[in-house]
Amino acid sequence: MFESHHLFDMTPRSPESDDLGKLRDDDYETKSGTETMEAPSSDDQYPNQRPKKKCYHRHTQRQIQEMEAFFKECPHPDDKQRKELSRELGLEPLQVKFWFQNKRTQMKAQHERHENQILKSENEKLRAENNRYKEALGNATCPNCGGPAALGEMSFDEQHLRIENARLREEIDRISGIAAKYVGKPLSSLSHLSPHLSSRSLDLGGFRNLGTQSSGYVGEMYGSGDLLRSVSGPSEADKPMIVELAVAAMEELMRMAQAGEPLWSTPSENSSDHQSLNEDEYLRTFPRGIGPKPLGLKSEASRESAVVIMNHINLVEILMDVNQWSSVFCGIVSRAMTLEVLSTGVAGNYNGALQVMSAEFQVPSPLVPTRENYFVRYCKQHPDGTWAVVDVSMENLRTTPISKCQRRLSGCLIQELPNGYSKVIWVEHVEVDDRSVHNLYKPLVNSGLAFGAKRWVATLDRQCERLASSMASNIPAGDLCVITSPEGRKSMLKLAERMVTSFCTGIGASSAHAWTTLSATDSDDVRVMTRKSMDDPGRPPGIVLSAATSFWIPVPPNRVFDFLRDENSRNEWDILSNGGLVQEMAHIANGRDPGNCVSLLRVNSANSNQSNMLVLQESCTDSTGSYVIYAPVDIVAMNMVLSGGDPDNVALLPSGFAILPDGLGLSGGGILEVGSGGSLLTVAFPTAKLSLGSVATVNSLIKCTVERIKSAVMCENA
């Protein structure tokens, strides 16, 4: 009888012995990932003999740690990798193979247990909801006689609709009664509603603080900063006042949006398209405003109109859905939250919808503080078919100190036009303390172009064109780079949208994160921040380090934008391309301007030892600013996206540029004169591998990129 003194018998086998070999493999698969079973000797092939005791080889702590680390990077090693690991760890290749098999089995079991918990929780929720419906059916009344209704008298859906209709009728009667009774009366007549209200008409200073109030969040949330979470919803005693405030604000918006001179005046002939508010006339026309301007705040007011390629119903839905609103205006709205929905509207639409919100507005640079507001948003359809959405501040309902910014009244009118177009008239009227704005950005902020109506309308117009492009189906196939597949276009645009949103929400001075300055110079300060990424599809888990800097360059914004988005000039500033040739592989146009597009670029490395790299890039521009945002992407993942696959789990760490006019090349009305003025350029880079050298590396990388851009753009402009 032959006994093997080695771990594995390498002698030729008969078919029967091959079956036994498979059994031995199965035995390995069932063992723990931290111990390995010794292969049975050839004695085991004779069932009449007493089998020898099986031996186990427990792996050392170092071996386990090394394989755990390798598993995180590559859970499916190939033969070459297994042999390399076995040589380094002093194990047999088959031991390594079975350890990884066992580890994958354990991970799969953990994942299944987690899914079971989720399903169990969902099952409990459905059971509770079913019980609520049963209770509602038990308390149902007959619509004809008012007596108790038998379950057989009406269907479940009919009973549910009747309950919802009754609730809506009560809500309409309540709001209509308050509006009809109090609109046009002085605030002193409302003293019976709340003893804490002052006698000043719609004065936010008369609102009492709710330091002892607490409220759960109703609605949806976009962003998760502690500052926005700290805001509580209104109390029941304040809700009638909120309705009164919203109704009065709607009336004021309609008059401000449609009025001409002397309420709105033009400062000069060269800026006839820009309208500025006459403050004295405003105070005479609207004595029931939200009160005198708080000390230290200055007034900013602007009005802008445009025709956009979107129907009025979809526009209203975007404005009233906090997630869609934040996504469309991601360059302006860094975070937003619906705190409470006081009314969902009537007749299946947003007519009469009323919701309390909190939001943070930004300029894409760490040098401009964000503006945080707590306000009520009211939507109404007027008899002529025009829709209006208005915001008005409720800052003194907050438990935090008085805000540095109040939305005195802001909103828009939406008029239906033929062929799916709409006319939008936008009004922005805020009071703000902007003394902490960096000197570099003061001219831009003072011009009204940073936060004014023109920026909101320009962004909306560009995003409407983008959405129309994503829905296009008859794309000509003349250009080889153009993606004509509807599924591929949709998936690639969705991936690019997530990349742009991630970049924009991480480039400003949001209170959700803090920037740290690495240098103390007055120009080209590099700022860094860290963010934790947990359970975020498409972003590496762990700590993400971001670095950004803003600087001025004496070149018009349109030339800077054209230089940065052009793949032919990319190797002049992109350090990661290593001087390789950049080629556009795919292209999706996003609007009238050729600069509005999504591109898939291939960087052909100049070094033959390095593999080529794919880069997803979106460039977008309008009259108020431009972006060039990009991220390296995996080739296999992009092939899946171009085939129409789900892009949500494609890993992205976006970098890019935000390009704004410096404010010095603007006319008195905030109109950008082509070819004049300079640019304010913000550069931002992330890295997912945080280490002691990460900060120094990203600091060096961003400074080198800035110097390359300055040198190349200046030469190009000359």
Nearest residue to 89 (alpha-carbon basis) of 53, 124, 65: 65
Beta bridge pairs of residue 388: 380, 413
**Most confidently modeled range among 14-23, 131-140, 623-632:** 623-632
pLDDT band at 52 (very low <50, low <70, confident <90, very high): low
Q: Which CATH number does 474-716 carry?
A: 3.30.530.20
DSSP 248-266: HHHHHHHHHHH--TTTEE-
Decide if 475 contacts 484 (C-beta within 8 A).
yes
E strand spans, 232-370: 264-265, 276-277, 298-308, 333-343, 354-361
Whether the per-residue pLDDT at 306 is higher than 90: the answer is: yes
| 238-470 topology per CATH | Alpha-D-Glucose-1,6-Bisphosphate; Chain A, domain 4 (3.30.530)
Closest CA to 587 of 578, 576, 596: 596
- pLDDT at residue 184, as a whole number: 42
In the chain, domain spans? 71-109, 238-470, 474-716
The residue assigned the tokens 């040098």 is 367
CA 510, CA 334: separation in Å to the nearest integer?
7
How far is residue 269's CA from residue 263's CA, in Å, rounded to a whole number? 17
Same fold, 71-109 and 238-470: no
Of 108-117, 383-392, 585-594, 709-718, least confident by mean pLDDT is: 709-718
CATH fold, domain 71-109, is Arc Repressor Mutant, subunit A (1.10.10)
Q: What is the mean pLDDT of the chain?
A: 76
* pLDDT classification of 268: cutoffs 50, 70, 90: low
Tens digit of each residue's pLDDT (9 = 90 or more) over 529-577: 887 766 666 666 677 788 899 999 999 999 999 999 998 888 888 887 7
pLDDT digits (tens, 9 = 90+) for 652-679: 889 999 999 988 765 444 444 444 578 9
| C-alpha–C-alpha distance, residues 625 and 658, integer Å | 8
**Given the structure tokens 């209203």, which residue do they identify?**
316
Give the residue carrying structure tokens 């931002």.
684
pTM here is 0.67
